[in-house]
Each structure stands twice: as C-alpha cells, then as structure tokens.
Amino acid sequence: MRLTRKQLAPAASPVETGDWLVNRFGLTTKVVVHAGQRDALVDLLLVAAERVADAPGCYLYVVSTSLEEPDGVWVSEAWRSKAHYEAWMSRPDVIQLLGAMAPFIADRNNPVLVAPVGGKGLRVRRRP
C-alpha cells in the first residue's frame, strides 16, 4: 500500500494545514551571457545575493552556473509571497544593480514560476 504525503505528515504539519503556503512564490530563471562574460554577471548576482540576505520574505536566493553551457547562469528564488518579491525588485538599489547586469546578458528566458512548499534549505513552519 502506497501512502500519500498527507498520510505520512505528522498531524499538525504545515504541509497538512497548508493555508500559509497559498501565497508562496518562487522562480527559476536561466540567463545566457555574452561570451566570456559569465564571471562578471555572477559577481553582480552574488552582490544581489548578499543584499537579499536580509530582505523581508526571501527564503532562498541561489546563483548557479551551468556545467553544460559555458555562458549559462541560473538564479533560483523562493519568497514568502509575490508581493515580497515585487517589493524587493522595486527597490532603487536593486533596479540600479539590474541595470549594471544588463550589458552582460545576451538572453534571459522567461522564468519558471513555482510555489515552493519546503525542503532542505527552505524552512517549513506554520504561521504564528
């Protein structure tokens, strides 16, 4: 007999109660840089990672380089809500940083939008 996630979860698990998960917002974006510019973009993305460390509502911000594409960079983010993400993206210092990144970017795919629900690196707990 195969058990469902709900059956495996403890009685008061956030996964089971679920209501606080409704507003979660996440995205993963693939960025292709101009040839030879990956390190320059990664440096700026890591500046963003340092700044977002204390941003309200940001649970995860990870910058990765592709092992298969020398000009590929991935950014994965998890936020408390889309409103938290939008508030972050509208900050003047973030807008300025995005402008500094623009010359290095050859193509930015549409992000994959997700609703993070938990896992290692992403705390799962109920609302107070």
- Mean pLDDT in runs of 10 for the chain (128 residues)? 44 39 86 96 97 92 95 95 95 96 94 87 59
What secondary structure letter does DSSP report for 116? -
Distance CA 22, CA 46 (A): 29
pLDDT at 109: 85
The pLDDT assigned to 49 comes to 96
27-to-1, 12, 96, 114, 121 alpha-carbon distances in Å:
35, 28, 21, 6, 15
pTM value is 0.77
Enumerate domains of the chain plus CATH numbers: 24-111 (3.30.70.100)
